[in-house]
């Protein structure tokens, strides 16, 4: 029935998934919650494969009318010096600011001083995809039903914009990469302090999904998020890059487009980025593809000898094994960017904390239904609401070892090659 847009949905998980308790006292588990949250995947039959689904995303409109107010933060760690912008969802914004994306204005100092709250509304932290921002339609389809809900079911939300994205002017030579967890970490710590009673949840899209899983893995049992959703995560960046280079469409359409977007981004912030003496802008201006950008920019910036070394170190495939909060991952098997061969099927079978849902159709951050709605928003919203309002989430348990015991050799998924 796939030719009618009826996609097949498959769940990959460990033999025993995380046990959970509902607020009514009944027992459940992570797999049951994810399955209950996932409606049938019925997509537009005219968009019959991942390429057509993905290419429709270039047709832009305003999407759901989400309003934001922006706060620019200075990073507290000198190793990651520079500023980054966080857009907070508000009910209405003031007069449009032409220097910012649509329906976005800045907080005044007085407004931001009074933002702290003791309310217990759930709050969603959002990470967007490569070179995107809070204005992206795919994330606003998820935000709209959450922030527009009535009464006690209403959510708060904010979007962490990657440095230089969404019309934020960077203030240092540090951009971001697929391991750029530092701005997310500072923001989540600030949210925990500013809104002490709000349960925090995360959602990431594409590259933002990779960053989010890396962050959760780095935090391990100390993660301040209660649960998270990741959509169209590329997971194994080296496998994905090689797959893009293997075909004409992958190389000349997807990789070339993403490479061009990143070139424009770095040119837009040339006055700051040029202070990085490790970068050769003559080479950067001659690149065509995303892997060439990573070779000439990410490699020298972060000290990786090759783009392959960067991809292997920044991939979130191993990180999922260090995550200790419930994670719902959603990917399309026909995604031409976050390719099927890069998905962590075996890793998902080794952790009780994560469930991978794959649909046979859907493309990259697409999943277009008849009428233009995005299917992925439905399981995302359902899962988040279930975790926020139906499930009792306690702090994850960590195993304690006797100090007299000799530790056995083990695999440390977060033993990164790159460090300061």
User: Are 303 and 321 contacting, i.e. CB atoms less than 8 angstroms apart?
Assistant: no
Is residue 109 part of the annotated active site? The answer reads no
Confidence bin at 314 (pLDDT 50/70/90): very high
Q: What is the arithmetic mean of pLDDT over 209-235?
A: 97
- By mean pLDDT, which of 25-39, 182-196, 304-318, 385-399 is the weakest? 385-399
pLDDT attached to residue 175: 82
Of the CA atoms within 13 Å of residue 93, those in its CB half-sphere come to 22
Which residue of the set 29, 87, 183, 335 is catalytic? 335
Q: What is the arithmetic mean of pLDDT over 139-147?
A: 98
Query: For residue range 255-267, what is the model confidence (pLDDT) as tens digits?
Result: 999 999 999 999 9
Which residue of the set 128, 269, 364, 376 is catalytic? 364
User: Are 418 and 304 contacting, i.e. CB atoms less than 8 angstroms apart?
Assistant: yes
Residue located via tokens 């907070």: 88
Query: For residue range 8-57, what is the model confidence (pLDDT) as tens digits?
Result: 999 999 999 999 999 999 999 999 999 999 999 999 999 999 999 999 99
Confidence bin at 400 (pLDDT 50/70/90): very low
What are the backbone angles phi and psi of residue 148, rounded to the nearest 5°?
A: -95, 0
Confidence bin at 408 (pLDDT 50/70/90): low
Is residue 364 part of the annotated active site? The answer reads yes
User: Are 5 and 28 contacting, i.e. CB atoms less than 8 angstroms apart?
Assistant: no
- CA dist 167 and 131 (Å) reads 11
Reply yes or no on whether the pLDDT at 396 is more than 60. no
Which residue of the set 131, 162, 184, 206 is catalytic? 206
Structure tokens that stand for 227 in this block: 């649960």
Is residue 206 part of the annotated active site? The answer reads yes
Cβ atoms within 10 Å, residue 31: 17
Taking the domains of the chain in order of start, what are their residue ranges? 2-236+322-392, 243-314
Instruction: Specify the 3-state DSSP secondary structure of 88.
Output: strand
Confidence bin at 420 (pLDDT 50/70/90): low
- CATH 3.40.50.2000 is the classification of domain 2-236+322-392: no
Q: What is the arithmetic mean of pLDDT over 125-150?
A: 97
Full-prediction pTM beyond 0.85? yes
Reply yes or no on whether the pLDDT at 401 is more than 50. no
Average pLDDT, the chain: 93
Confidence bin at 286 (pLDDT 50/70/90): very high
Angle at 61 between CA 56 and CA 67, to 5 degrees: 130
The full 3-state SS of 265-284, as one line of letters, equals HHHHCHHHHCCCCCCCHHHH
- By mean pLDDT, which of 5-19, 362-376, 398-412 is the weakest? 398-412
Reply yes or no on whether the pLDDT at 403 is more than 50. no
Which residues have C-beta within 8 Å of that of residue 161, sequence separation ≥ 6? 84, 85, 86, 87, 128, 133, 134, 168
């Amino acid at each position: 029935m796939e030719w009618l847009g009826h996609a097949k949905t498959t769940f990959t998980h460990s033999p025993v998934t995380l046990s959970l308790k509902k607020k009514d006292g009944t027992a459940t588990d992570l797999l049951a919650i994810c399955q209950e949250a996932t409606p049938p995947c019925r997509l537009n039959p005219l968009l019959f494969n991942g390429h057509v689904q993905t290419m429709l995303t270039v047709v832009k409109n305003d999407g759901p009318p989400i309003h934001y107010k922006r706060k620019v933060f200075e990073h507290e760690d000198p190793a990651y010096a520079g500023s980054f912008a966080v857009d907070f969802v508000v009910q209405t914004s003031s007069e449009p600011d032409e220097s910012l994306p649509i329906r976005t204005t800045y907080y005044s100092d007085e407004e931001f001083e009074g933002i702290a709250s003791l309310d217990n509304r759930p709050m969603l932290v959002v990470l967007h995809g490569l070179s995107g921002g809070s204005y992206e339609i795919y994330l606003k389809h998820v935000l709209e039903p959450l922030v527009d809900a009535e009464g006690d079911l209403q959510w708060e939300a904010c979007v962490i914009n990657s440095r230089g994205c969404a019309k934020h002017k960077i203030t240092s030579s540090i951009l971001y990469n697929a391991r750029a967890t530092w701005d997310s970490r500072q923001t989540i710590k600030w949210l925990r302090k500013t809104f002490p009673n709000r349960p925090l949840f995360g959602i990431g899209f594409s590259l933002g999904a990779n960053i989010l899983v890396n962050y959760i893995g780095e935090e391990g049992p100390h993660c301040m998020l209660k649960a998270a959703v990741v959509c169209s995560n590329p997971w194994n960046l080296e496998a994905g890059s090689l797959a893009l280079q293997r075909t004409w469409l992958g190389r000349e359409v997807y990789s070339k487009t993403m490479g061009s977007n990143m070139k424009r981004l770095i040119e837009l912030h040339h006055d700051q980025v040029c202070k990085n003496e490790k970068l050769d802008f003559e080479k950067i201006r001659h690149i065509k593809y995303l892997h060439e950008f990573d070779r000439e920019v990410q490699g020298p910036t972060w000290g990786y000898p090759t783009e392959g070394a960067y991809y292997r170190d920044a991939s979130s495939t191993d990180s999922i094994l260090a995550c200790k909060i419930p994670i719902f991952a959603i990917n399309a098997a026909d995604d031409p960017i976050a390719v099927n061969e890069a998905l962590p099927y075996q890793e998902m079978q080794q952790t009780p904390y994560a469930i991978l849902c794959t649909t046979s159709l859907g493309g990259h951050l697409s999943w277009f239904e008849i009428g233009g709605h995005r299917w992925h928003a439905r399981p995302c919203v359902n899962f988040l609401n279930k975790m926020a309002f139906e499930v009792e989430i306690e702090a994850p348990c960590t195993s304690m070892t006797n100090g007299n015991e000799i530790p056995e050799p083990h695999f440390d998924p977060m033993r990164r090659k790159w460090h300061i």
